[in-house]
Structure 1
Amino acid sequence: MANDAAMQALGGYEGGRMLFLGLGTGLGSALIAEHIIITLVLGDLPFRDSTLSALLGRRSLEKVAHNTGSERPRTATLR
């Protein structure tokens, strides 16, 4: 069984090494190296008084959007 971040990473994998960071309710992460999927839990890493998932997750981004007058955060894809 694989998590959703690993499956999303696999969908964009074209060979070699790839680090996937997915923003959603939290921070999903996976590493693919030479066709081997390694599930990571980078979102659980501590940051200040919280975790990376809490900082970068949907609720946090919605709070930033609200504070800037936007209805919801913009999304972007970096390739």
Structure 2
Amino acid sequence: MDAEPAAMAVVALEAEISDEQRQALADARERRLEVVETLHRHSFWATVEPSDRIKVQTALRKAARAGDQTPPAA
């Protein structure tokens, strides 16, 4: 893979990326979208009251960052 663009070029909006890097970015974005869709369509969310979704999403995000494998209480 090509070297990453220089930080100063990125800040100045002058950075160019190779076709390989552009494809890798597109692939990563596609994979991220698949993961987000899978997460939001999971049957777990049917057990969560709509009014509690933000609270549960926040708890889930916090647990994921901490490496906790226990799902948050709905």
Same fold (TM over 0.5): no
TM-score calculated relative to the size of structure 1 = 0.27
Q: Greater strand share, 1 or 2?
A: 1
Please identify the structure whose Cα radius of gyration is greater.
2
Q: Greater helix share, 1 or 2?
A: 2
